[in-house]
Structure 1
Amino acid sequence: MSRDHDRRAYAPGPTSATGPFALGLMHGATGGWTVPMAALAVTAVGQLLVGLVLSGNRGAGATPAAKRASGT
């Protein structure tokens, strides 16, 4: 892996500023916080669902060693 690749992988970049900027635009356009907070909640639920799907059937503390010890 190259040194440049390592820097790009951990650099925040322009995408880290889009969330606060988008929420500010929504607040300015609607004059309130209801729509921006609803958008934030929808995004959080989406991230939760993606995380659950990608994690598979692993619960907290379900390490491979614990599974082997329990025989499952």
Structure 2
Amino acid sequence: MSDYSRTSLTRHAPGMRDADENGPSRLAARKWHEDGSVVLLADSVRRLDPLDRDLVRAIATRLYGPRGE
């Protein structure tokens, strides 16, 4: 019977952790403050009111072209 409690990755287990669900938002905020970069997360765009959402989509389309939806 194999012992699955020890693998070549066992030594890395203490350093492993779940992904930070607020990480992308913190990164977006940090980039804004550091160099003025704007990162728009899909969730953030969905929460905008319809006029702002349309404006954001229009700007992105103008800069990067239409999405392949």
Q: Structure 2 length as normaliser, TM-score?
A: 0.27
Larger helix proportion of the pair: 1
Q: Structure 1 length as normaliser, TM-score?
A: 0.26
